[in-house]
Structure 1
Amino acid sequence: MSQDSLIKHKSGINKNIHFDKHEPSDQHSCKGHQNHSHSHKWEIILYFVGLAAFLMARFLPSGWGANLLDFVTVFLAGNHVVIEGITDTCQETKTRNKFYPNLHLLMALAAIGAMFIGQFHEAALLILIFAGAHFLEDYAKNKSKKEITHLLNMNPTKARRLDEEDNVTVVDVNALNIGDIVQILPGDQVPTDGIIVKGIGIIDEASITGESISQEKTTGDLVYGSTINHNSTFTMEVTTESDKSVFGQILRVVEESQANLSPVATKIKKAEPIYVKAILIFVPFFIFGSQLITNWDWYTSFYRGMVALVSSSPCALAAAAIPASLSTISNLAKRGVLFKGSDYLANLGSIQAVAFDKTGTLTAGKPKVTDYIFVDDKQSSYWVDIIVAMEKGANHPLANAIIEKFTANKGFDLIVENQIGQGLSTEYNGSTYSIGKLQKNDQLPNDLVKAYKTYSEAGKTTVLFKENDAIVGLIAMLDTPAKQVKKVIKYLHDHSISTYMITGDNKKTGEAIAQSIGINNVYSNVLPENKAAYIQTIQTQKGLTAMIGDGINDAPALVTSDIGFAMGEGTDVAIEVADSIIMENNLEKFTYAHRLAKKMNRIVKQNIVIALLVVLGLNSLNIFGTINLAISVIFHEGSTLLVILNGLRLLLPLAKEEL
């Protein structure tokens, strides 16, 4: 299956990480459709000049002087409110060929209406509070994007490219091509992914892996773009274009997270112009209707209509989800979990099942020696020396596991032959030695039969050590569970989330690993192309399903799942098609993300309830004539700030009692 065929739409969401930059991504609260840029510096200056005019008016007696200063307040402090209310509505209406009002239009009309009936003081107060809330909303949005902005600033921009005569030219990182040779001096950022061809580097890889300890790299080692070289100089060959480097992919994921809204935020955004139209229809009916069923005069009816206009504006409702989503994404980005959109994050809090790949996800991906036995304890030390000498000449994971486990007392210089399907063999002191798996003609000594059976039933890979064709020892190895995996599985079960392991390993190996960590559902002997089918089965049985994997063979399953997580040390394809990336191979970050997603969903619900209760309460009080325009503005904008601040709580790390 090609990479392109893995990128597809599911549940109406494009899983490719590219996004439509023409779609506004930061419309929240009362900001409306801002397709033009503003100079916030001048807006703030004019706001404070308007505030000064408002305060001066309070020292004057009621009359044309105070009214003039209040009008100046509306004109200066609220100029952007009126501009965005009227001009943006006109532009959007023209673009969409239908009336498309925004929330600023409601506030502009309320201020104009208040001045029309002579309430210049309340019009000025409305604009001051509304515009002030507008600036605070911008602050809240920028605060929630702090980690994202920090990440973007880490992107390297320059590189020292060497020509054939080793002359250095400083070029833009975007100008580097695969195969270019680049010099990295002490303190330099690595411009893009590559391989060291000369020298040694002490590399700070925190921006990629989160690892705080610098890594020593030498010739042939891979280095990542955006990482920092400490106190040495090396040259590297570029292997990846900067926009396709690991860090480049991280940046694209972060940009995606700002563009995709949560399902709740998307619904609110779509409903906003419909709601505004309804208010614009409701207010005239309210004004004229009150003349028929109450004894209010025209002044009172119009005044109460302006109060209804302010009270019914859904500013708090519009701000219920987006600040909370951005804060959550920022919190997770700081801790090495990147989401391609808050839609996936919102769904994470409601998952019913999680499916795991085995190797590299549940396990460390590096087998370790768990057991060994020899027929003669007196000879075991000598045999270990032979085994270590043989395996030092091999280059495979099992050899590394054996070398890490055993320490030779004597170093032998052996000529080792690697026979495909047979294993390693050598000769020493007139004897022949070999290491390999059990063959059809092999006869296990009685002392080793029980041990071999025990190891096999536990799903372990067992190799035989022979001396002159006689089996004299067994070494059992197993890809052991990654750190904290048991804790993660227990957490999921405690939250009534079903867990599954999908692996290509044989049944015994799969079940042995699953049993050791607590997973009770195992699909073994699964071919890569069939993993997606098993995900669909789980979705049918359980509902919303997450998949966590790291390899190319996991890509179909990651796409099919409702939420796909790629481990950060996995393949490019897995990272490309997944909905989220766990930068370190640490599954505890997944449980942190799940807890935070659930908290985000709770806060969004709280915000929606607060917004609706305030609208209902203010309108009820207005009908009975017990609230004025100033109080309506204060409570209405206060509720907007309350839901924004409630959402900003998600920037904070989870408390201990929440972990």
Structure 2
Amino acid sequence: MDAINKRLNTVTQVKGNSAAPQPGRKRGPNFKMMLQNKEMQAALGSGVMMLAAWGVSGSYEFLSILLYIAAYTIGGWSKAKEGVATLVKERDLDVNLLMIAAAVGAATIGYWNEGAMLIFIFALSGALESYTTERSHKDISSLISLKPETALRIDNGTMELVAADELVPGDLILVKPGELMPSDGRIYKGYSAVNQSSITGESTPVEKTTGDEVFAGTMNGEGALYIEVTQRAENSLFSKIIKLVEEAQSEVPASQRFIEKFEGIYAKFIVVITLLIIGALPLLFGWTFGDSFYKACVFLVVASPCALVASIMPVMLSSISSSARRGLLFKGGAHVENMAKTAVVAFDKTGTLTRGVPEVTDLYPAEGYDEMQLLAVSAAIESQSMHPLAEAIVNKARISGAEILEADEVQSITGWGLEGSVNGVKWSIGKTERFDQGEVDSFWVHTRASLEQEGKTVSVIMQGDDIAGIIAMRDTVRPQAAAAVKRLQQLGVKVAMLTGDRQGTADVIAEETGVDFVYAELLPQQKVEQVRKLRETYGHVVMVGDGVNDAPALAAATVGMGMGMSGSGTAIEVSDVVLMNDNIEEIAWSIKQSRRAARVVKQNIVFAISVITLLIAGNFLTEVALPFGVIGHEGSTILVILNGLRLLK
């Protein structure tokens, strides 16, 4: 600390240019972004060429054909490349090749406009699907664009502009108003409101002052902040998020894998039937080659599984995108699908349902003493300890406005507590074990027993050999914990709490939060076993945890959900979903949103299959015109994609 003070007090000059452009963030769907999509530009270009060709047809036939060829090329080039690549590399057929074949087939028998319409609508549906993917990726990976490149480091009496990657724990940096935090750290001096939306999704800035943590990639408000770096760049929360972004679309839902496998088989079937129609109808019914070829083209269009293929991933990507804006980072669509099936949510206790940091809850002074006096002397002694209980007492003294005095000759008493001298008077604070020896007033014994039944840790404060009071501390329940549990139960989801803490403490927290099941005194492996039992009994289980000891249980659950703000790196890496703002109330929303996504997928699949079936039947039983087949089939594809885009709201 003295070293930091020295560096802070001797700043004389700034090396380099501290000004840095601050990128903004865009949220919400917008047409500008859609129009910037290259596939959308190609689709619209194809449509313009088609309309122009249709406009001059009859008057300038040769020009009309040239414009139609341009429409085919602009709209179908990328899809044709994809189809050929699939055929060459994977020796398989896909929808792209079927659609291009149908369009070219229509042109060969003079139906240029119908073929161009097919290309245009097919390109448009592909562009919408591509936009969904791009939009989902942007909503998550917009964080990457906020990665700070430089920092103002205070060293040897100067402020020097250095690369953010060069910062190491212990460095002191200055973050000016309106600049991005270049590293995770703790505020050494200053006060400001920090916009953490890039990390947590919080809509309003959070006030930060001395001692508070800040994260790389968040935006400083109007106050200058001096920050002590606590993490290297590669270990920051921001870097962990970027790693998750890279994994975010690698997981494909089981339903999508089935559809993709089905698509290859089905495409071959469609080609065989199309060839049979071309060859059999002239032989069996005396049709002309032109009529049978036309019927085959219509069949090729209406039977292709475009809408079915597009039924799932746009929905999943839209759900991932909307979740990211609320601070829920899914690592892939497979986890959205699994989240929808949740039957039980299992919470770790410490740091998840509770804050994970002990707080002073009760203070009972003996006769002749008052609370402020006891807080002052206790904080004076405990300020020289790094124990979490000691920090809780010091924080309570600061919040209460008690003067933290100077303590001398502070020393640790092994297995008991601390003692020291304050204003020449000997004070000590530690365990209440002497209460068990029958040498104290029964009031203290009964009060301690009552506090411990509430899951609190009790310490005695002594002046010399006299009891001056007792102080109780406990890891307090998160303010939103009870509401989060209730919301889950309203969805029909059971809520369990898994903890390594003792049964008494667990029961108190369970009563306050209203969980359905309590499992206490569990080792990490026992948490895994309990998660497996819950899966066997109830079905799909979501495990929510923040610590290294939760990692095995997170991996064993159907969906592991890590706490992004307070969670360990291991917990975040193992989890399938990261709750970036640590707001556990969002878990119920994520389940509800995932169930909504599952319903939309079912709607899309039923609708797609129904349209394909009706169009195929119509083609064989009646005369279905190629334009109607194009509009019916490709229109259904666009509709299922738009249905999925509703989840972007």
Aligned to 2:17: none
Pick aligned residue for 1:248 from 223, 239, 248 = 239
Q: Compared with structure 1, are the counterparts of its residues 620 and 196 closer, same or farther at alpha carbon in structure 2 (3 Å cutoff)?
A: same
Aligned to 1:32: none
Unaligned runs of 5+ residues in structure 1 are 1-36, 653-659
Deviation at 1:214, TM superposition (A): 4.3
Report the 3-state secondary structure (helix = DSSP H, G, I; strand = E; otherwise coil) of the residue aligned with 2:249.
Answer: helix
Asked whether the 8 Å contact 2:43–2:120 carries over to 1, the reply is no
CA distance in 2, matches of 1:175, 1:470: 54
CA distance in 2, matches of 1:245, 1:418: 34
Asked whether the 8 Å contact 1:70–1:121 carries over to 2, the reply is no
Deviation at 1:625, TM superposition (A): 2.0
Q: Compared with structure 1, are the counterparts of its residues 601 and 443 closer, same or farther at alpha carbon in structure 2 (3 Å cutoff)?
A: farther
CA distance in 2, matches of 1:641, 1:520: 44
Pick aligned residue for 1:135 from 127, 130, 133 = 127
Residue identity opposite 1:605 in structure 2: K
Task: Indicate the larger mover: 537-546 or 641-650.
Answer: 537-546
Residue identity opposite 2:126 in structure 1: H
2:347 is aligned with 1:359: no
Aligned to 1:545: 541
Q: Compared with structure 1, are the counterparts of its residues 455 and 332 closer, same or farther at alpha carbon in structure 2 (3 Å cutoff)?
A: same
Q: In percent, how many aligned pairs have the same letter? A: 35
RMSD: 3.3
Cα deviation per residue 1:250-282 (whole Å; 9 max; x = unaligned)? 122123223322222222223322221121112
2:450 is aligned with 1:454: yes
TM alignment of 1:308-457, pairs within 5 A: 308-374=299-365, 376=367, 379-381=368-370, 384-394=372-382, 395=385, 396-402=387-393, 407=400, 414-415=407-408, 416-426=410-420, 433-439=427-433, 440-441=436-437, 443-457=439-453
Report the 3-state secondary structure (helix = DSSP H, G, I; strand = E; otherwise coil) of the residue aligned with 1:259.
Answer: coil
Report the 3-state secondary structure (helix = DSSP H, G, I; strand = E; otherwise coil) of the residue aligned with 2:529.
Answer: helix
Deviation at 1:409, TM superposition (A): 7.7
Aligned to 2:10: none
Report the 3-state secondary structure (helix = DSSP H, G, I; strand = E; otherwise coil) of the residue aligned with 1:229.
Answer: coil
Aligned to 1:590: 587
Residue identity opposite 2:373 in structure 1: D
Asked whether the 8 Å contact 2:354–2:478 carries over to 1, the reply is yes
Report the 3-state secondary structure (helix = DSSP H, G, I; strand = E; otherwise coil) of the residue aligned with 1:207.
Answer: helix
Aligned to 1:71: 65
Pick aligned residue for 2:88 from 87, 94, 98 = 94
Cα deviation per residue 1:551-572 (whole Å; 9 max; x = unaligned)? 1111111122221111112111
Deviation at 1:118, TM superposition (A): 2.8
Aligned to 1:514: 510
Aligned to 1:641: 638
Task: Indicate the larger mover: 233-242 or 589-598.
Answer: 233-242
Deviation at 1:500, TM superposition (A): 1.7
TM-score normalised per structure 2:
0.83
Q: Compared with structure 1, are the counterparts of its residues 165 and 380 closer, same or farther at alpha carbon in structure 2 (3 Å cutoff)?
A: closer
Aligned pairs, how many?
A: 603
CA distance in 1, matches of 2:390, 2:168: 37
2:176 is aligned with 1:188: no
Q: Compared with structure 1, are the counterparts of its residues 389 and 241 closer, same or farther at alpha carbon in structure 2 (3 Å cutoff)?
A: closer
Q: Compared with structure 1, are the counterparts of its residues 444 and 269 closer, same or farther at alpha carbon in structure 2 (3 Å cutoff)?
A: farther
Aligned to 1:305: 296
TM alignment of 1:607-622, pairs within 5 A: 607-622=604-619
Asked whether the 8 Å contact 2:314–2:641 carries over to 1, the reply is yes
Q: Compared with structure 1, are the counterparts of its residues 272 and 244 closer, same or farther at alpha carbon in structure 2 (3 Å cutoff)?
A: farther
Asked whether the 8 Å contact 1:356–1:362 carries over to 2, the reply is yes
Q: Compared with structure 1, are the counterparts of its residues 186 and 475 closer, same or farther at alpha carbon in structure 2 (3 Å cutoff)?
A: closer
CA distance in 1, matches of 2:66, 2:438: 99
Aligned to 1:56: 56
Task: Indicate the larger mover: 160-169 or 244-253.
Answer: 160-169
TM-score normalised per structure 1:
0.82
Asked whether the 8 Å contact 2:75–2:120 carries over to 1, the reply is no
2:625 is aligned with 1:631: no
Cα deviation per residue 1:287-311 (whole Å; 9 max; x = unaligned)? 4444566575443332221111000
Unaligned runs of 5+ residues in structure 2 are 1-36
Residue identity opposite 1:419 in structure 2: I
Asked whether the 8 Å contact 2:146–2:217 carries over to 1, the reply is yes
Q: Compared with structure 1, are the counterparts of its residues 356 and 444 closer, same or farther at alpha carbon in structure 2 (3 Å cutoff)?
A: farther
Pick aligned residue for 2:262 from 267, 271, 296 = 271
Aligned to 2:275: 284
Q: Compared with structure 1, are the counterparts of its residues 370 and 269 closer, same or farther at alpha carbon in structure 2 (3 Å cutoff)?
A: same
Pick aligned residue for 2:144 from 143, 146, 152 = 152
Asked whether the 8 Å contact 2:201–2:327 carries over to 1, the reply is yes
Deviation at 1:645, TM superposition (A): 0.8
Asked whether the 8 Å contact 2:141–2:245 carries over to 1, the reply is no
2:198 is aligned with 1:207: yes
Task: Indicate the larger mover: 365-374 or 335-344.
Answer: 365-374
Aligned to 2:556: 560
Asked whether the 8 Å contact 1:374–1:474 carries over to 2, the reply is yes
Task: Indicate the larger mover: 574-583 or 121-130.
Answer: 121-130
Residue identity opposite 1:593 in structure 2: S
Deviation at 1:641, TM superposition (A): 0.9
Q: Compared with structure 1, are the counterparts of its residues 409 and 339 closer, same or farther at alpha carbon in structure 2 (3 Å cutoff)?
A: closer
Cα deviation per residue 1:116-139 (whole Å; 9 max; x = unaligned)? 333333223323333333334434
Pick aligned residue for 2:101 from 109, 124, 148 = 109
Report the 3-state secondary structure (helix = DSSP H, G, I; strand = E; otherwise coil) of the residue aligned with 1:516.
Answer: helix
Aligned to 1:477: 473
Residue identity opposite 2:475 in structure 1: D
Asked whether the 8 Å contact 1:51–1:73 carries over to 2, the reply is no
CA distance in 1, matches of 2:208, 2:513: 33
Report the 3-state secondary structure (helix = DSSP H, G, I; strand = E; otherwise coil) of the residue aligned with 1:227.
Answer: coil
Asked whether the 8 Å contact 2:215–2:237 carries over to 1, the reply is yes
